[in-house]
Amino acid sequence: NEQILLKSRPNGTPTEENFEFKEVNVPDLKEGETLVKTLYISVDPYMRGRMSTAKSYVEPFEVNEVISGGVVGEVIESKSDKLKNGDKVTGMLGWQRYNAVDSSKVRKVNENLAPLSAYLGVLGTTGLTAYFGLLDIGQPKEGETVVISGAAGAVGMIVGQIAKLKGARVIGIAGSDKKTAYLEKELGFDATINYKTTENLFKSIKQACPEGVDVYFDNVGGAVSDAVTSLLNDYARVPVCGAISSYNITSLREDMGPRIQPKLIKTRALMKGFIVSDYAPHFKEAAQDLGKWLSEGKLKYEETIVEGFKNVPQAFIGLFKGENLGKQMVKVTHE
Ligand code: NDP
C-alpha cells in the first residue's frame, strides 16, 4: 500500500519536498470496517491550512503522518453488513491506495446518477459550498449583480451558474483567457475579467458592473477583493468563502489592503465567513437540488483530472498556480 505523508510543513508555497511517499502493508480489517481501493483523490486549497500549525476549524496534519482528504473509492473487502464488494463510496480518507475504514465514516454514492468524480466536486464539498454560500449568505435577487472571484474554479463556476438560475447578472474574475472564455461561452457568464492581465482591475470591474455590486462571492481575498469591495452597493452581501491569495504568505505585511470598515458602514453591507460543514444538516436537500439541475442540463461542470497516484502533490501544488479549470483531482490507477 502506497501512502503520501506530510514530510515537512511548507514555508510559503508548497513544494514536492514537503511530501513523502511510503510503502506499507495493506491494513487488516477490524469488525465493521471495509477496505476501500482509492479511485479519485480530491486536492483542495484548504488543505494548505492544515499543513501549518495555525489554529483553524480543522486540526493540522501531523508531520510524518498520512495526509487525508476527500476520496472516492471502491469497496474490495468488507467486514460490515452495510457495505459490500463493488460498492462505490466517498469520505475523508488517507492519501493512500487502500484505506481500511469504519463503514459509518463513508457514504455510498450512485454511479448511475453521475460519474464518480462528480462526488468530489459538483455533487460533493465544492458544489455544496457554492450552494450554501451563495443562497444562504449571498441571497441573489433577480436583476442583481453578482461578482465571483476564483470564478473558473470548482466552487466559483457553480456559484456563477446558480446565480444565473436566480436571474442575476454574473461577472466572473479568473486568471487566464482560457478560463474567462470558458465562463462566457460555455456557462453564459455576462462578463469576465482576467485579473492577471487587466491593466486596471478596479476600472475593469467598474466597467463590468455599471450598477455596482450586490453580491460578491469571495474565493480569493487580497487585491482582487479590495477592488471588488470598493464597489459594493447598499445592503450588498459578501459570502467570504476562501482567501487563496493569502494561503502561502509568510508575513502578514504581504497581506495588507485597504481598510474595508468605512465601506461596510456606508453601505450597511454584510460580509460573512462560512464553512460548508456548518450546513451539514441540510446537505441532503442541497445535493438533491444540485443533482436535479445537473440532470436538467441547467448546471454544467468541468474537472481537471490528473492521472496517477505519484502526481497527487503536483496536482495539489497546481491549485496555487491556477493550473485547474473546475475541480482539480487525481485519478488513481492500480496495475
Ligand atoms: P479552485 O478550483 O478555485 O482552485 C483554486 C484556484 O484559485 C486556482 O485555479 C486559481 O485560479 C486561483 N488562485 C490561486 N492563487 C490565487 C491568487 N493568489 N489570487 C487569486 N486567485 C488565485 O478551488 P476551490 O473551488 O476548491 O476553492 C475555492 C476557494 O474556496 C478556496 O479559497 C477554498 O479555500 C475555498 N473553500 C472554502 C470552503 C468553505 O467551507 N468555506 C469549502 C471549499 C473551498 P486562477 O487561474 O483564477 O488564479
CATH for 170: 3.40.50.720
114 and 139 belong to one structural domain:
no
* Residue 137 CB neighbours (<10 A): 19
130 and 267 belong to one structural domain:
yes
291 found inside a domain: no
7 and 106 belong to one structural domain:
yes
195 found inside a domain: yes
Contacts of 279 (CB under 8 A, 6+ apart): 128, 132, 136, 286
Residue 13: give the domain boundaries.
2-121+302-331
pLDDT digits (tens), the chain, 335 positions: 999 999 999 999 999 999 999 999 999 999 999 999 999 999 999 999 999 998 888 899 999 999 999 999 999 999 999 999 999 999 999 999 999 999 999 999 999 999 999 999 999 999 999 999 999 999 999 999 999 999 999 999 999 999 999 999 999 999 999 999 999 999 999 999 999 999 999 999 999 999 999 999 999 999 999 999 999 999 999 999 999 999 999 887 777 788 898 899 999 999 999 999 999 999 999 999 999 999 999 999 999 999 999 999 999 999 999 999 999 999 999 87
CATH for 313: 3.90.180.10
248 and 175 belong to one structural domain:
yes
253 and 323 belong to one structural domain:
no
244 C-alpha to ligand 1 centroid (Å) = 5
191 found inside a domain: yes
Q: Which cell is 292 given?
A: 436535479
User: Measured between alpha carbons, how far is 139 from 135 in angstroms, rounded to an integer?
Assistant: 5
234 and 181 belong to one structural domain:
yes
232 found inside a domain: yes
Pocket of ligand 1 (CB under 6 A): 44-46, 125-126, 129, 150, 152-156, 174-176, 179, 219-220, 222, 224, 241-245, 274-276, 319-320, 322, 324, 328
Task: Count the domains in the chain.
Answer: 2
Over residues 194-242, the pLDDT tens digits come to 999 999 999 999 999 999 999 999 999 999 999 999 999 999 999 999 9
Q: Which cell is 320 given?
A: 496555487
260 found inside a domain: yes
